Structure 1
Amino acid sequence: MEEILKILEKEYHNYLDMLKSLVNVDSGSSNILGVNKVLEIIQNKFKQLGGNYEIQIIPQKKCGNHIVINRKGSIFGKILLLGHMDTVFQDGTVQKRPFKIEGDKAFGPGIIDMKAGITSIYFALKVIDILYKDDVKTIQMIFNSDEEISSIYSRELIENLSKDCDCVLVLEAGRHNGDVVTSRKGTGKYKIRIKGKASHAGGNLKKGANSIIELCHKLIQISNLTDYETGTTVNVGLIKGGSASNTVPAYSDSVIDVRICTLEEAQKIDENIRKIANEIYIKGTSTIVEGGIKRPPMERKEENVKLYEIAKRIGEELGMSIGQASTGGGSDANFTSALGIPTLDGLGPTGGGVHTEDEYINLNSIVPRTALLTKLIKVLSEN
């Protein structure tokens, strides 16, 4: 461990330079040029490590390209590392608040979610090149461009490449107290569209079919599907309808956010939403349901906990107390864990303010968290 720490401490300022270069690129999910610029930085950095890395660009039309990097090892088996290049921030954000260091924190758009995680992957691999050469399992990395929009274009890639892996390590941010993530809620997004019949509210009210009233009947019941005991939450977040107060509204719609803890609950909530939507309360209306469960839940399975226990022991070597956390937000770990592949998330540096103007990374977490990842790869190669 001392050798790992020594190298990472020496590389600390190089780490910050790479992190700065990534943060200072606007790479919102819809910014294809920006995401591809981040990809180019990653590609060039790994090219500098030499010929042991096979780099494949996965071209995309509706989002930025994905990149898959393979490092061949001499030990049988494969470890998959996941990171995403996109952020939630709009174009022009970097110009307003570029990378900066204040005290023991560094700030910038996407710095903790998850450009620091990408940087940690690179420097962990650099240390492995120096200390272990080929004496590890094959390491495969996927950096996708659409995680913040539910990985709608990269999910198939992630699932296909993970199926022959021994385990998956995901570099989303560590929790503020240093915990790693062994379970995440699944996420769903539904759009309920109602078609009614317009008419004049004064002279022909009876001839109309009020789409808003129909929608309200459904939304109250759908909202009541929230069950705090099981961890299932349903939030009616958006509603739209009508054109004037004196017109019976012909069209209305609503967008609903769903969070679930188990695959069983995911199936149950999906069936119930569709059942409620199919009920007709106002004669002359019809309903269309769009969307569904976007990410399956990452349940706290035994195989995930075993990975955590290994990380915990390594953390003790580093003087860190690492617990296992659950979170309501989804990540690409949800996909691999749902396939039954041992998955551990939240291995990136720690920080806070995710998706806000105050997003930051704790500078003192860079070296120990990257050391944790490096040693974890080595230990997992021996098992």
Structure 2
Amino acid sequence: MTDYAKFQPWLDWLDPRHEQTLDRLKAWSAINSGSANIDGLAQMADAILPAFAELDAKTSIIDLPDGEAVSPAGDVVPVRFGKILHFHKRPQAPVRALLCIHYDTVFGIDSAFQTPRMVDDNTLNGPGVADAKGGILTILNALAALERSPFANGIGWDVILNPDEETGSMGSAPFLAERARTADFGMIFEPALADGTLAGARKGSGNFSVRIRGKAAHAGREFYAGRSAMVAAAHCVSALHALNGSIGDATFNIGKIDGGGPVNVVPENAVVRFNVRVASHDERHRAEAAIANIINDLNNLDGISAELHGRFGRAPKEMAGKTRDLFEWVRELGGDLDLDIAWKATGGCCDGNNLAEAGLPNIDTLGVRGGLIHSDQEFAKTDSLIERAKLSALILMKAGAGALPASFMKTEN
């Protein structure tokens, strides 16, 4: 773009921050912040807060109410969440951006994967290095460059770092939606693929549990007096699996079955846990209706009761309208940095789905380049730490300079 030179000094300012950023990423990766590790999440928050102090933003630490889950015994039990970290600045600016990423990981406190290590000169392996602690540092660096530039006064921003994304953002979703309604565009810092490809359209996702109650009985003396919850669970599993291929691109994955006990007892309780992915809102509605029919059939079995828990926590994010326009605009900006911005559809989901459902166009893989996430082979490409920060800083500075396409602007906030 012809005006790139006026932004370049503040992008170049980022180059010397590489070593500091890498050191922070290693230190943060070594903090276990699995979604259920409340103490570890607090430790991670204590590391993030002083780092973000350089932005001189208003900071809020927000408690989340407890959620609910179904225990292996079939009881509904409370689930604790960590705290949202919310940073915001210039709420009255003419353009508003919402930057989001999570600081929880999928690795529990007892995981064997706890320590980062350099695999080679450009590859860091460690829990959360790509998903998404590298993304947190990308936000920090991009905003640090923006705040030093003359374009900062033209754009206000919110940063939301949530503690529960890896379990569906059930606690933080209402706050994400609230802030989405005040912004003109969203930026989500999930990792890009190793070659820099971004996620485009995303499937929606729902996590569900079916609580099944039968009647216990002695397997020898009174077998026929019992009603097996495990047999009913088998019917449930078969019916759910049979839905695959019947509702467009929707998939039904049985993740776990809890229940049963001594083999000389007809089992009274069982829990079937499953995930559903849908490519469109129509598929979601059809899937919900099909699941309801299965629950109804279970309840018509003699002596069996079934109850569904859970919901679709992520709506599908389609590559259309303003979201497609935002990707195209970012592709143009990437050319200034010699980055070829491409994207492809994915069955995965993230908080970008939530922002899209709230009506906010967003681009959702602006974090570091990496891969093999959710495994002990997770890696981040370290040369992308500053590369990706420059891309986001350019987006923000361009928007602050008044170059955000008018189609993204809200008529009112």
User: What is the TM-score with the length of structure 2 in the denominator?
Assistant: 0.86
| 2:63 pairs with one of 20, 34, 59 | 59
| 1:294 pairs with one of 313, 325, 332 | 313
Tell me the secondary structure at the aligned position of residue 82 of structure 1: strand
Aligned pair in 2 of structure 1 residues 109, 96: CA closer, same or farther (>3 Å)?
A: closer
Provide the rounded CA distance (Å) in 2 between the counterparts of 1:74 and 1:104.
41
In the other structure, the counterpart of 1:33 is 39
Structure 1 residue identity aligned to 2:379: Y
Question: How big is each residue's C-alpha offset from its partner over 1:185-211, in whole Å with a ceiling of 9 and x where there is no partner?
Answer: 111111112212223334433322222
Q: CA offset at residue 183 of structure 1?
A: 1.9
Structure 2 residue identity aligned to 1:38: M
Q: CA offset at residue 227 of structure 1?
A: 2.5
In the other structure, the counterpart of 1:118 is 136
- Say whether 1:185 aligns with 2:203: yes
- Say whether 1:362 aligns with 2:381: yes
Provide the rounded CA distance (Å) in 1 between the counterparts of 2:246 and 2:331.
30
Q: How does 1:1-150 map to 2 (within 5 A)?
A: 1=4, 2-50=8-56, 53-60=57-64, 62-72=80-90, 75-91=93-109, 96-100=114-118, 102-150=120-168
Question: How big is each residue's C-alpha offset from its partner over 1:17-44, in whole Å with a ceiling of 9 and x where there is no partner?
Answer: 2222322211111222222222222221
Provide the rounded CA distance (Å) in 2 between the counterparts of 1:336 and 1:126.
24
Provide the rounded CA distance (Å) in 2 between the counterparts of 1:206 and 1:43.
62
In the other structure, the counterpart of 1:213 is 231
Tell me the secondary structure at the aligned position of residue 376 of structure 2: coil
Gaps of 5+ in 1: none
In the other structure, the counterpart of 2:73 is none
Provide the rounded CA distance (Å) in 2 between the counterparts of 1:323 and 1:149.
28
In the other structure, the counterpart of 1:161 is 179
Q: In 1, are the aligned partners of 2:113 and 2:127 still within 8 Å (CA)?
A: no
Aligned pair in 2 of structure 1 residues 228, 199: CA closer, same or farther (>3 Å)?
A: closer
| RMSD after superposition | 2.1
Q: In 2, are the aligned partners of 1:186 and 1:293 still within 8 Å (CA)?
A: yes
Q: In 2, are the aligned partners of 1:24 and 1:99 still within 8 Å (CA)?
A: no
Provide the rounded CA distance (Å) in 2 between the counterparts of 1:124 and 1:367.
9
Provide the rounded CA distance (Å) in 1 between the counterparts of 2:117 and 2:50.
21
Gaps of 5+ in 2: 66-79, 405-413
Q: In 2, are the aligned partners of 1:299 and 1:338 still within 8 Å (CA)?
A: no
Q: In 2, are the aligned partners of 1:73 and 1:135 still within 8 Å (CA)?
A: no
| 1:312 pairs with one of 328, 331, 334 | 331
Tell me the secondary structure at the aligned position of residue 175 of structure 1: coil
Q: CA offset at residue 58 of structure 1?
A: 1.1
Provide the rounded CA distance (Å) in 1 between the counterparts of 2:354 and 2:360.
9
Q: How many residues align?
A: 381
Report which stretch shifted further, 62-71 or 235-244: 235-244
User: What is the TM-score with the length of structure 1 in the denominator?
Assistant: 0.93
